[in-house]
Amino acid sequence: MTATITHQTIAVLVENKAGVLARVADLFARRGYNILSLVVAPTRDHRFSRITIVVDSETSSIDQVVKQLFKLINVVEIQELSAETSIERELLIATVEVPVDRKAELSQIVDEYYGKVLSDAEGQLTISIEAGPNKIQEFEDLIEQFKVVYLQRSGRIALPKIGRSIPKHTAN
């Protein structure tokens, strides 16, 4: 993901019921919308979960995605969170094989990105960073110079920037 913004984050509040994620995923598949990432977690109110979906806004009409999503009976509220109006964060964890003489170099990169070393054993480091989309991508590119054994990104979550009012699509 580069600096050109070709994505849109959509935060979808859903009823916490069996099969709701399948309904959302099915809708994207059925209408040919592309998902870049998708995160589901319960909210403070356990009756609801929030599904945060990053949609490819070049190939999908965000207006249609939102309207079609809202036709799902279990979808309660939708917020469109653009890169300009929201804070977007993602977690990356990776296990990297690193020779002893380059360990300091890797640690320095991790420090520069405010990351952490979670584990250090058998010539491998498990590291994590939490950052916005561009920084995450930069970091992932940087550590490619080492031997990456495992790498996993969490998918993106987002909140409105303080002071920004982001319209909510609701049932009422």
Binding site for another protein (CB under 8 A): 14-15, 18-19, 22-23, 26-27, 30, 61, 63-64, 67-68, 70-77, 171-172
* Shortest Å, Cβ 49 to another protein: 12
Phi, psi at 69, each rounded to 5°: -60, -40
Tell me how far apart the alpha carbons of residues 78 and 14 are, in angstroms, rounded to a whole number: 9
CA 88 from centre of chain = 8
Phi-psi region of 158 (alpha: psi -120 to 50; beta: other; left: phi over 0): beta
72 versus 91: smaller Cβ distance to another protein = 72
* Shortest Å, Cβ 28 to another protein: 11
Phi, psi at 18, each rounded to 5°: -60, 135
26 versus 144: smaller Cβ distance to another protein = 26
* Shortest Å, Cβ 155 to another protein: 23
